[in-house]
A and B are shown apart, each in its own frame.
Chain A
Amino acid sequence: MIALQGVHKSFGPNRVLRGVDLTIAKGTSMVIIGGSGTGKSVLLKCILGLVRHDAGTITLDGQDVSRVERDPFLARFGMLFQGGALFDSLKVWENVAFRLMRGAGRLPQDQARQIAIEKLRRVGLTPAVADLFPAELSGGMQKRVGLARAIAAEPEIIFFDEPTTGLDPIMAGVINDLIREIVVEMGVTAMTITHDMTSVRAIADSVAMLHQGVIQWTGPIGALDATPDPYVQQFIHGRADGPIAAVR
């Protein structure tokens, strides 16, 4: 279980997170929605310790994440970055197999490559892309390679930062199914950031909406449509007018 309590984070005068409280139960899929620039990516980075939060506590299974030993902690996670964040000096398959070929339980190269190709197939990429460099791929393909890298070592917790942004609707459907499958079949705890309401409905067990630095609303997916919360209603129906300013 991941629990956040009163998490604050500012960048200079820009107060991004202003007391985030949120819990994600083990083996469930939490989707974070919210306008762009509200700090969704920063929230994930705080949990991973890539960004140090200013105040509040973040715990994983009851342990404060800022006090745990980093290597075993990070080994439990997979992360798809918003921009893919592929290593452009490495081939696609080396990106996917990056963790598999390093550290304690490292695999021999040909075995790691086999797994990488298998993971690429799961995100809808042919083995032909394995030997290309990231710069040779389209944005959507890079995103999927990033996804393959996030799931490659079969971590128990996976963060997906906008997994379907930039994908065509069919491919987005494939990725939504994949994320759902990973949660249901492998018991993974997932946290997904998305703007895509189709994705939300396909992936989420519960939903949280981040707005103005706090969790404006959170609840099970079934309660999303019925909630009277005006922020949520404006967001899920994509209305220009409502409590959320269109100019931010």
Chain B
Amino acid sequence: MTPAGALAGIGRPVLAALASLGRIAIYAAQTITHLVRPPFYPREFLTALMQVGWLSLPVVGLTALFTGGALALQIYAGGQRFSAEAVVPQIVAIGMVRELGPVLVGLMIAARVTSSIAAEIATMKVTEQIDALVTLSTNPMKYLTVPRVLAGFLCVPLLVAIGDIIGIMGGFAVGTGQLGFNRASYIQNTVNFLEGSDIITSLIKGAVFGFIATVIGCLYGMQSGRGAQGVGAATKNAVATAAILILAANFILTSVMFGQ
């Protein structure tokens, strides 16, 4: 391969990635401008709340529970190496609330919600339902995108809060049931150690991730190619993009909020 060919080989995917990022940014900005201008569709919003929030609870709860438990075991085992096993409650709390709670919930939402939004909207696209909406003087952005994104933005922080609590409970169950911690002091340590700012940053991450997951699902659905293949590709790409952007956003938010 010539040097120029190699450069082109690197440049092309980079340019393509930048172009997608640009499209996502534009779409996100459009969503926000539509968010504040009527008409609003309360019924679609309620359906989206159900889909994004309520129906995600089992997945979020189970993920957090097992992770909290595993975290407690790891911190205990790792802490023993320098006689610091007593910090299990504090590290579980901070690990769940600051990082694992938001990230895991964000990724589960990408898997569950981004995929279903992308597949649903892509199917509407390929079956001309989006065209039909437009001819019936209904803006797909307002009717389909805004309710879903708003639901994601509002629900995912709540899901993160619930995930944080359940994760800590998972750590508590393992810590007190298996590792011999005292129940009262485990709770005491957790509560004393966590600061309000930890919880707020957790919720902020949740809101950002919820926004990303739903915007990406809608955008990739709307951009879907034709036929069943188009729907499949839209769904797959939406989930991968949402997951990567959530992890990248998490890194940025962590650096901004906790960086020295």
**Complex CA distance for A126 and B14, rounded to whole angstroms:** 57
Stretch at the interface among B5-13, B125-133, B200-208: B125-133
Verify if B4 is at the interface (C-beta below 8 Å from A): no
B residues contacting the other copy or chain, number (CB 8 A): 14
Verify if A79 is at the interface (C-beta below 8 Å from B): yes
Question: Beyond A82-B128, A87-B129, is A98–B136 a contact (Cβ under 8 Å)?
Answer: yes
Q: Is the interface of B mostly helix, strand, loop or mixed?
A: helix
CB proximity to B under 8 Å, residues A62-94? 70-71, 74-75, 77-79, 81-83, 85-89
**B132 and A81: CB pair below 8 A?**
yes
**B129 and A74: CB pair below 8 A?**
no
**Complex CA distance for A192 and B142, rounded to whole angstroms:** 31
Verify if B135 is at the interface (C-beta below 8 Å from A): yes
Name A78's closest neighbour in chain B (CB-CB): B135
**Complex CA distance for A89 and B137, rounded to whole angstroms:** 18
List, in ascending order, chain B residues with CB within 8 A of A237's CB: none
Verify if B39 is at the interface (C-beta below 8 Å from A): yes
Of the listed residues B39, B131, B135, the one surrounded by the most CB atoms of chain A closer than 10 A to its CB is B135
List, in ascending order, chain B residues with CB within 8 A of A46's CB: none
A residues contacting the other copy or chain, number (CB 8 A): 23
**B137 and A102: CB pair below 8 A?**
yes
List, in ascending order, chain B residues with CB within 8 A of A74's CB: 134-137
Encoded as 1 (CB less than 8 Å from any A CB) or 0, chain B from 112 to 136 comes to 0000000000001001110111111
Verify if A228 is at the interface (C-beta below 8 Å from B): no
**Complex CA distance for A206 and B127, rounded to whole angstroms:** 30
List, in ascending order, chain B residues with CB within 8 A of A86's CB: 129, 132
**A83 and B128: CB pair below 8 A?**
yes
Cross-chain contact of B132 among A85, A89, A102 (Cβ < 8 A): A85
Closest CB in chain B relative to A49 CB, distance in Å: 8
Verify if B138 is at the interface (C-beta below 8 Å from A): yes
List, in ascending order, chain A residues with CB within 8 A of B129's CB: 85-88
**B137 and A87: CB pair below 8 A?**
no
**A102 and B138: CB pair below 8 A?**
yes
Chain B residues with CB under 8 Å of chain A are: 39, 47, 124, 127-129, 131-138
Taking A103-B137, A149-B136 as known contacts, 11 extra A-B pairs with beta carbons closer than 8 A to each other, sorted by chain A number, are A74-B135, A74-B136, A79-B135, A81-B128, A83-B128, A85-B129, A86-B129, A87-B124, A89-B47, A99-B137, A102-B136
28 contacts between A and B (CB under 8 A): A48-B134, A50-B134, A50-B135, A70-B137, A71-B137, A74-B135, A74-B136, A74-B137, A75-B137, A77-B135, A78-B135, A81-B132, A83-B127, A85-B128, A85-B129, A85-B131, A85-B132, A86-B129, A86-B132, A87-B124, A87-B129, A87-B132, A87-B133, A99-B136, A102-B39, A102-B137, A102-B138, A103-B137
